[in-house]
Amino acid sequence: MTKMTLGSHPFLLGFEQLERLVERTAKSDTGGYPPYNIEQTSATGYRITLAVAGFGEDDLSITVEDRQLVVRGRQDECDDDRIFLHRGIAARQFQRTFVLADGVEIAGARIENGLLHVDLNREVPEPVVRTIEISKGRT
């Protein structure tokens, strides 16, 4: 028995990349650090909020790579002769990725009270109706 993939269904022409997208999305969830929220802020707007306590603006980077929003955090180890009796505040580096649909663009980002907010907007394309001419004979 042959395995039927999503892209091989006769009614889903051109959706081969959807299966790759689902696989890539499943691989991108690499644990729970840092925790995050995703909220819908308007009919076409979204906000991703990451808890980044202890990270400053210079410790964070936000990029879009191959339709993926990538948020990275890295703190420099500062050896200022501090002696910790207990170190419970995470200071580890992280990378969190979010796959973006076509038409979703980054509107901006800001950090406040230990939370990094990344705002996104989805552009709604205008509907296009096109008439295809039917020719006679062979092509």
| pLDDT: which is higher, 91 or 100 | 100
Q: Quick one: what percent of the chain has pLDDT higher than 70?
A: 80
pLDDT for res 27: 63
Q: Quick one: what percent of the chain has pLDDT higher than 90?
A: 52
Which segments of the chain belong to CATH 2.60.40.790? 32-77+89-124
- Report d(CA 104, CA 40) in Å as an integer: 13
What fold, for 32-77+89-124? Answer: Immunoglobulin-like (2.60.40)
Q: Check whether 65 has a pLDDT greater than 80.
A: yes
Tokens read off for 91? 């200071």
pLDDT for res 105: 95
| pLDDT: which is higher, 26 or 135 | 135
